[in-house]
Homo-oligomer: A and B are copies of this chain.
């Protein structure tokens, strides 16, 4: 019995409420001059007060040294094994544009690209055409029907699009057509087992029709497909935790991930204030809220230390709106670290704060990487956060007599 099966066996529905506040890419690295990370630099009186009454620690998205993308990072926070529950690239892109993916759809990530007269790739991104240009080209391909399978083609950004195959007898076990190198020809899509041959045939026909339709649209005169995938078979959070969960996220990918695990998606605006207002407005209707803050990660990716500091301070300033609701359990953490100094996701463990009446508070009085090292939660994998939150909400029965 793995942890999720164990949790499923002992979870019970109660009136208590949990708020999981995720500051994407929260963890950082110290500025060489001040010796302080982004979180340590930010003035965060409200988070510090919560840390003082709560219990702190550090969480590893999957394990020491491993850097995760946002999708597995969030799955881990929701309690799912982030490695075995890996989501295919096609599904991830579809989910990232709020596409209404059906359970049997097969989705692929597409690139518009440039091929020369010999059919060899000269630019895998077709000169990074504009998103508008991409949308126009997608309209040429969208709705093609091949052997009773409809192909839905939607733009993502610049040269990126998704191709979603909808119909009977489809399966994701096929290879990419994208060789991921210049000077090669796009590959023939191959079935990895006899059961996948129909899928491979349809995908190859789609590529051929796309090439014909795009012939006059150089530099975007060909497509490359990769990451054919179907929705993962994840048990919902309602099934595992007996929760009624809702997601508040201004970025589509996080809404999509939340939808994959069965959360209701609440309409919200683009600012942090909007998100907290949405939480307050819907507080009576759910017992679990996932609130996602994107700005910390974007600033980290851009290498903008100060903007990451300001985003953290902005979250701190609206925090009292959330604490005023008196959730039984509040968790504040990130899905991974994104130190501005690295301009990228990193493997560093993520500050973690849990507040509840029953948390057994520790001696930590500020929310920061260095203070969390001394925290009572110690260092734990991110997948343990949901069991802890559930326990603190008194939503888990005893295992064994």
Contacts and interface: CB of A to CB of B under 8 A. Distances in A.
Contacts of A65: 384, 386-392, 396
A219 to B, nearest CB: 26
A175 interface: no
Count copies of this chain in the complex. Answer: 2
Interface stretch (A112-120, A143-151, A263-271, A373-381): A373-381
B387 A64 contact: yes
B348 A87 contact: no
Nearest to A67: B398
Contact of A83 (B1, B58, B391): B1
A347 B384 CA distance: 12
Interface in A160-218: none
A62 interface: yes
| Most chain B Cβ neighbours within 10 Å, of A64, A68, A70, A346 | A64
B69 A401 contact: yes
Interface stretch (A278-286, A305-313, A357-365): A357-365
Contact of A348 (B83, B360, B380): B360
A49 interface: no
| Most chain B Cβ neighbours within 10 Å, of A64, A72, A375, A400 | A400
Contacts of A130: none
Contact of A374 (B71, B84, B374, B391): B374
A244 to B, nearest CB: 20
In the complex, which range does the number of interface residues on chain A fall in?
35 or more
Contacts of A363: 370, 373
A375 B86 CA distance: 32
A83 B399 contact: yes
A6 B401 contact: no
B72 A29 contact: no
Contact of A391 (B66, B384, B399, B401): B66
A16 to B, nearest CB: 14
A401 B360 contact: no
B68 A399 contact: yes
Interface string A338-370: 010110111110000000001011110000011
A347 B82 CA distance: 24
Contacts of A374: 373-374
A358 B370 contact: no
Contact of A360 (B29, B66, B345, B362): B29
A89 interface: yes
A205 B167 CA distance: 56
Given A339-B358, A346-B391, 7 more contacts: A63-B387, A64-B391, A65-B387, A69-B398, A72-B399, A363-B373, A369-B376
Interface of A: 1, 3, 6, 10, 29-30, 37, 58, 62-73, 82-84, 86-87, 89, 92, 339, 341-342, 344-348, 358, 360-363, 369-370, 373-380, 384, 386-392, 396-401
